[in-house]
Amino acid sequence: MAAARASGPLDVLAERFAEHPRLLHVLQLAPTLGFIAFFVFVPVASIFVWSFLTVEGTRFIPKFTLEAYATFFGIGYPNFMLSVFFRTLRIAASQTLIALVIGFSIAYYIGIRMRGSKYALPLLLLFAIPFLTNYLLRTLSWWLPLQTNGIVNTILLNLCIGGQCLIDEPVKWFLFSEFAVHIGLLSTYLPFMIFPIWLAMSRIDETVLAASADLGGRPFHTLFRVVIPLVLPGILIGCVFVFVGVLGDSVVALFLGGPGDSLIAQQVDAAVRGQRWNVASAISSVILALAFALILAWEKFFGLQRIGEI
């Protein structure tokens, strides 16, 4: 005797899902995808659309225009924003390189040389302590050591060997200069380089390092032939975090930089304060396009699935 077919609404719905399992997967993902679309993709798409609209007073007018991009690229206007953008790219690239050299050294020491030590994790957490303070105050705290009568200049003025002092007068370019901008950015974004690299190093099996040593590999060879290839995803993620972070930073250059050290994010702030919404959207769209290009480059050369290998 054939089994009786379910007649209740829930039973009918269960049968439909059993016949079409993909429909069930779509319904399960729908709330999450809807949340991401509303809070991520809709704002990003809005910024892109606003960059092509005309602004009259404080309102957007649905009139297509390329004026915002012409302002940014210096077409018929002073080429100021584009020069600031290229300066930002240069500072972001150099800052990423500096953070990589210092951050990799710290992560290597904690993740490899101090492996198994009870002091490794507390030492690593020290780099997270600054995030417990306000970002603005953390940036302003560099005024005290970098000013002309600050700690750094005082030490250098009193550092004498054989009656010859290292410097005869305070160094003025320690503060309100590109040097100070690099110092401020490094203190802010160095942890974003350290933590991904350390996490990748912590997942290297101890037997791999032991095998390299048993085969006669010196620490230098183990570093370049074993460790670096295995932590490459962490290195790349750290570089993306630092590079993109510097592109969107407007606080450090404002308080530590000089008149000629402004970054592109400050131009976004200035455009918003001047109610030039389309110009601010155009600059943001270019930065977002650059960040998206970095993700595409990652996918082309390494594959996004390698993020899970960290």
Residue pLDDT, tens place only, 83-104: 999 999 999 999 999 999 999 9
Residues 65, 63: Cα–Cα separation, whole Å: 6
pLDDT at position 308? 47
C-alpha span between 195 and 127 (Å, rounded)? 9
Instruction: Identify whether 31 is part of a domain.
Output: no
Distance of CA 208 to CAs 121, 127, 200, 203, Å?
A: 22, 28, 14, 11
CA distance 46 to 69: 16
The model's pTM: 0.84
Asked, for residue 6, whether it belongs to a domain, the answer is no
Burial class (CB in 10 A: 0-12, 13-18, 19+), 85: buried
What is the domain range of residue 211? 83-309
Indicate whether 41 belongs to any domain.
no
Is residue 37 assigned to a domain? no
Q: Is the pLDDT of residue 29 over 90?
A: no
Q: Tell whether 7 is covered by a domain.
A: no
Burial (CB count within 10 angstroms: exposed 0-12, middle 13-18, buried 19+), residue 138: middle
CB 67 within 8 A of CB 278: yes
pLDDT in tens, 145-187: 999 998 998 988 888 877 787 888 889 899 999 999 999 999 9
Residue 236 belongs to a domain: yes
Determine, yes or no, domain membership for 68: no
pLDDT digits (tens, 9 = 90+) for 257-284: 988 888 999 999 999 998 889 999 999 9
CA–CA dist 188, 139 (Å, integer): 8
Give the chain's domain count.
1
Residue 55 lies in a domain: no
CATH number (domain holding residue 304) = 1.10.3720.10
